[in-house]
Amino acid sequence: MAKQKKHINNGIKLYNKILKEFTRINNELPVNRQLSVKQRREYVSKTLYPEFKGIHPNKVGKKAIDKSVTKVLETVAPKEECNPNYISPTVYDDIAWFDLDEFIDEVLPTCIYMKVSADVFGETKIFNTLNYDYERSGVSDIVEKIRDYTKNESGDVSFTGVKRLRPKKANDGSPENYYIDMVLTYGGVPTKDIIPVKYDVPKEERKVVTSVKKAILERVKQIDLRKKRRKNARKKAKQSIADIRKKTKRMKTLKSDSAKSKVRFDRIKDFLKAKKQIQTAYDRGNMTKEQYDRFNKEIDGLMEQVKKQGGIV
C-alpha cells in the first residue's frame, strides 16, 4: 500500500513538474500563441505526461520537457483574433452593463488584453481574457455596484470600448501591445476619453480583419439566439401558469358537473404541460436553476391550493 501511495505521489509530482515548465514557456510566447490553463492541462494529460510516465520526477530533466513542450506548441497555429487591431470597433460599442460579463467571456477573443473603467464604480487592472474569471478580474465588483445603483434595471448605463496602447509598448501592430478599455457611459456620454490609438493595418492583413469580424459577429448571433430561446421559455412557463389560474378561477362559476369535469380534465393537462415545459427548458439550458425552482414552486403551490379546495389534480 505504501509503495502504491509513493507511486501515485511521484505521478502527481511529475505531472506538476511538466505543467509548471509548460506554463513558463507558454507565458514567454506572443499572446496570439499562448494557451489557457485548461488547454495546457489537456495537453499535459493527453500528450506530455504519457511520454514520461513511470520515470521518477527527479530523472526527468528540464531540457527533455522543454523539447516535448516545444514540439506540441509547434502544432498550435497562432490565433488571428488576438490582435485588437483586427477587431472592428463596432464589436465593442454600446455594451449594456448587465451583458458585460457575457460579452467578455463569450464574444471577445480569449487572448486579448483588456480593462474595465467604470468611473465611481471602480476599475480593473489590465488583464488577459485567456483565463478570464468574473470574480478574480474585478468585473463582478463593478457589475454588482452598478446593479445596486440601477436597482437591477437597464437604466442608461453601458460600456463603450476603445483601443489603447499598453504602458511602455510601441504602436507597431504587435497583438500584445494593445488592450481594449471598456469605458462606462451615462446616457451615451463616456466617463473618460474614448479616442483610440490609431494603427493602419497593412493591406495584406486586411482580409484577416474581415474574417475576425465575421467570427465575432457569429458568436453575437448565437448569443442573441440563446437569449431569444430563454425569453420564449420564460414566456411559455408564465402563460402555462396563467392558464391554470384562469381555469381554477373559472371552476367557481360553473354549475353543471359535466362542465366542471371538463375543466378539471383540462387543468390536469395544463399542470402536466407546465411541468414538462420548464423541465425541457432547464434541460436544454434555456432556464437557470433559480428560474426552474421558482416556476416549479409556483406550480406546486397551485396544485396544493386546488387540493385544499377539494379539486382533482
Tell whether 215 is covered by a domain.
no
Look at residue 68 in the predicted model and tell me its pLDDT: 94
29 and 92 part of one domain: no
Output the CA–CA distances (angstroms, integers) from residue 297 to 110, 260, 291, in the order listed: 39, 26, 10
What is the per-residue pLDDT for 92?
Answer: 92
Q: Are residues 124 and 180 in the same domain?
A: yes
Q: Is residue 214 part of a domain?
A: no
65 and 29 both lie in a single domain = yes
54 in the same domain as 31: yes
Q: Which of 45, 73, 101 is the last residue of a domain?
A: 73
The predicted structure's pLDDT at residue 1 = 45
Asked whether residue 99 is domain-assigned, the answer is yes
94 and 153 share a domain? yes
Is the domain of 40 the same as that of 88?
no
Q: Is residue 133 part of a domain?
A: yes
Q: Which conformational region is residue 99 in: left (phi greater than 0), alpha (psi within -120 to 50 degrees), or beta?
A: alpha
81-92 tens-digit pLDDT: 899 999 989 899
| Whether 152 contacts 158, CB under 8 Å | no
Residues 69 and 119 grouped into a single domain: no
- Residue 180, classified by CB atoms within 10 Å of its CB into exposed (0-12), middle (13-18) or buried (19+), is buried
Q: Is 169 exposed, middle or buried (0-12, 13-18, 19+ CB in 10 A)?
A: middle
User: Is the residue at 216 inside a domain?
Assistant: no
Last residue of a domain, one of 18, 40, 73: 73
The answer to whether residue 239 is domain-embedded is yes
Domain boundary among 150, 183, 200: 200
How high is the pLDDT of residue 116?
98
Q: Give the domain extent around 50.
A: 2-73
Identify whether residues 108 and 54 lie together within a single domain.
no
Query: Are both 108 and 172 inside the same structural domain?
Result: yes
The pLDDT of residue 162: 97
* Residues 184 and 112 grouped into a single domain: yes
Is residue 31 a contact partner of residue 111, using CB atoms and an 8 Å limit?
yes
Task: Classify residue 225: in a domain, yes or no.
Answer: no
Predicted local confidence at residue 79, as pLDDT: 83
* 187 lies in the same domain as 255: no
Q: 186 and 117, same structural domain? A: yes
**Does residue 9 lie within any of the structural domains?**
yes
3-class DSSP string for the chain: CHHHHHHHHHHHHHHHHHHHHHHHHHHCCCHHHCCCHHHHHHHHHHHHHHHHCCCCHHHCCHHHHHHHHHHHHCCCCCCHHHCHHHCCHHHHCCEEHHHHHHHHHHHCCCCCEEEEECHHHCECCCEEHHHCCCCCCCHHHHHHHHHHHHCCCCCCEEEEEEEEECCCCCCCCCHHHEEEEEEEEECCEECCCCCCCCCCCCHHHHHHHHHHHHHHHHHHHHHHHHHHHHHHHHHHHHHHHHHHHHHHHHHCCCCCHHHHHHHHHHHHHHHHHHHHHHHHHHHCCCCCHHHHHHHHHHHHHHHHHHHHCCCCC
Predicted local distance difference test score (pLDDT) of residue 6: 56
Residues lower than pLDDT 70 in the chain: 1-8, 308-313
**pTM for the full predicted model:** 0.70
Q: How many domains does the chain have?
A: 3
